[in-house]
Amino acid sequence: MKHLLTAALLGSALSLVHAQHSGHSHGSTPSAAAAPASPATAPDALPWAEAEVRRVDAGAGAVTLRHGDIRNLDMPPMTMVFQTQQPGVLDGIKAGDKVRFTADRINGTYTVLRIEPLR
């Protein structure tokens, strides 16, 4: 009887440990929801922000902007480098231009999706 009680208690304890452990994701790969591969919002729906172009590196697909608030990124005014995804996005854009642009965070990188000179 003593052995039967010990076996029952041990089985219950192991079941509890297994149930707690199965709720964790140790060693598993992160889900796709943890790091979206594309903008969360369609590029046409993103708010425009204004900026002054400080530098253009078309070869690297990068532009340095001194920008105002970027509402969708909850980002205050600052100067920073943005990447681009599409070739030609920076065509006609040069240092000193006043522009409006849309940006989002894609795969952890701040990316300009659209940019055009202010008139």
CA pair distance 98, 82, nearest whole angstrom: 16
Tens digit of pLDDT per residue, the chain (119 long)?
555 555 554 555 545 444 454 444 444 444 444 444 444 566 678 999 999 999 999 999 999 999 999 999 999 999 999 999 998 999 999 999 999 999 999 999 999 999 999 98
CATH of domain 39-117: 2.40.50.320
CB 110 within 8 A of CB 119: no
**CB neighbours (10 Å) of residue 48?**
15
- The rounded distance, in Å, linking the Cα atoms of 98 and 50 is 7
6 is written with which tokens? 């010990």
Per domain, the residue ranges of the chain are 39-117
